[in-house]
Amino acid sequence: MNDETAIQVEHVSKKFCKDLKTSMRYAIEDIGRNAVGMPAPSGLLREHEFWAVDDVSFEVERGETLGIIGPNGSGKTTLLKMLNGIFWPDKGKISVKGRMGVLIDVGAGFHPMLTGRENVYVNAAILGMSKRETEEKFDSIVEFADIGNFIDTAVKYYSSGMFVRLGFAVAVHCEPDILLVDEVLAVGDNGFQRKCFNKIGELKKNGTTVIIVSHSMHLISTYANKVILINDGTAHHFASVGEATHAYGRLFLSGQDREFNLKVSGNERIQFCDVCTNKRTFYPGETFYLSLKYVSSQEYEDVDVDLVIESNNEPQAFFQATNRTFNETINLRKGSHELVIALQDIPLNNAFATVAVVVWSNRRTELLFWCDIPVEFKGVALSSGKNFLKVTYSTSSSSLGLSSPLVSLK
């Protein structure tokens, strides 16, 4: 382990037992073996045991940020707890250099009967801070946590968000060389999350090594230098963050996710008989075309057409609008016709999504058509984030004729 390496994990594995009674029996047997100088069979699986983490190896250099992603139950938090020393690995070796700040479980390190003030001192001591150091930073910790007068209330009355606020405030004020953050930050409100991520950015500038476990691919794309995808306890390494988030998205795609889902195709007066798209795999900046051929026995004037691009991996909509957003009036004429819709210059980057198209009669009194179309947006090399924008660069010895800047840098 060289001087620039903050964390080194070598062929680490951790096993658990699915059955509590069997687990207790194995524990007694292992204690007995150790008492007489016999090694416990840590490298072998016994009945009802399974590998939660299986032969994982990686290194993190000082100042790097490692993102760890994967589905629920894949072994991410178990790995983090081994890095923090809460669990010991059954196989392999973990080497860590420097003071560690940790935020893994909501309320971890807090005694429910003690006040927030008292728990600050307890938690700070667990993280290696002296009483004098805690006293010097106490006001700053309370200000960052922003829980007001509740600092003198027993923490058993705290909400999950208040736990996270106080826990994160203590963790970052211990001036860690290594910061471990699990998905618990998702509990906080938007304002506090923004404050936390700004603080993480500040720590990174000061050379702190950061390991983030998250289901938010936007967060991983923003902060991580490299990514490990853990699935069923096995680690898959990615030097490209974009490739990692793409692989993560594929884990959740089923056969149904790749098929058209035609929910409503008309009624007794109008039938949408053919639905066509130009393609279903796109690169950022390309246009999605949809053709809806229909046969109608009556006029449908001034209909509403809703368009939504929904993420398949995160609970959010990338885009949502109706034809009225663009001051477009759409009339579905009597007879056989075709409605063509173009979503132009879509900037999505490295994402799996569903395009939902819904057609309503005037004033939304009747649902005429509804179709969900799964699509894939490829990633651009050396680019992360959910959107890709075209950027131009130029140098010139003369002014480009731009208007006065909002803020002068002189």
CB-count exposure of residue 284 (10 Å: 0-12, 13-18, 19+):
buried
Q: pTM score > 0.85 for this model?
A: no
Residue 410 CA to residue 407 CA, distance in Å, equals 9
106: left (phi over 0), alpha (psi -120 to 50) or beta: beta
Q: Which of 210-219, 323-332, 342-351 has the highest mean pLDDT?
A: 323-332
pLDDT tens per residue across span 249-264: 778 765 555 678 889 9
52: left (phi over 0), alpha (psi -120 to 50) or beta: alpha
Residue 360 half-sphere exposure toward CB, CA atoms < 13 A? 12
7: left (phi over 0), alpha (psi -120 to 50) or beta: beta
> What is the mean pLDDT of the segment spanning 31-56?
86
Residue 260 CA to residue 200 CA, distance in Å, equals 42
The candidate with the shortest Cα–Cα distance to 160, out of 118, 136, 133, 192, is 192
DSSP letters for 160-212: HHHHHHHHHHHHHHT--SEEEE-GGGGGS-HHHHHHHHHHHHHHHHTT-EEEE
More confident residue, 404 or 312: 312
Q: Is the pLDDT of residue 56 over 90?
A: yes
Residue 404 CA to residue 261 CA, distance in Å, equals 52
Phi, psi of 227 (to 5 degrees): -135, 145
Q: Does residue 170 contact residue 124 with C-beta atoms inside 8 Å?
A: yes
Residue 35 CA to residue 396 CA, distance in Å, equals 77
What's the confidence (pLDDT) of residue 357?
95
Q: Does residue 53 contact residue 12 with C-beta atoms inside 8 Å?
A: yes
Query: Per mean pLDDT, which range of 145-149, 183-187, 235-239, 250-254 is the poorest?
Result: 183-187
Q: Is the pLDDT of residue 139 over 80?
A: yes
pLDDT tens per residue across span 172-201: 888 889 988 887 666 667 777 788 888 888
Q: Which of 162-176, 273-287, 301-315, 379-393 has the highest mean pLDDT?
A: 273-287
What's the confidence (pLDDT) of residue 330?
96
CB atoms within 10 A of CB 14: 22
User: Strand 65-69's sheet: what is its strand order?
Assistant: 100-103, 178-181, 209-213, 65-69, 226-231, 234-238
Residue 380 CA to residue 388 CA, distance in Å, equals 8
* Cross-strand pairs, 17: 49
pLDDT tens per residue across span 275-292: 999 999 999 999 999 999
pLDDT tens per residue across span 14-24: 999 988 899 89
What's the confidence (pLDDT) of residue 403?
57
What's the confidence (pLDDT) of residue 258?
63
> What is the mean pLDDT of the segment spanning 81-104?
88
pLDDT mean across residues, the chain: 86
Residue 272 CA to residue 337 CA, distance in Å, equals 10
> What is the mean pLDDT of the segment spanning 76-91?
90
Residue 110 CA to residue 115 CA, distance in Å, equals 9
Q: Is the pLDDT of residue 317 over 80?
A: yes
What's the confidence (pLDDT) of residue 329?
96
pLDDT tens per residue across span 339-377: 999 999 999 988 888 999 999 999 899 999 999 999 999
- Report the percentage of the chain scoring pLDDT > 70: 91
Q: 47: which 2 tokens? A: 């009945």
Amino acid at 241: V
Residue 182 CA to residue 172 CA, distance in Å, equals 14
Q: Is the pLDDT of residue 51 over 70?
A: yes
Q: Is the pLDDT of residue 406 over 60?
A: no
What's the confidence (pLDDT) of residue 254?
57
Phi, psi of 408 (to 5 degrees): -80, 135
Q: 51: which 2 tokens? A: 């590998």
- Report the percentage of the chain scoring pLDDT > 90: 43
Helices (H) and strands (E) in the chain, counts: 8, 19
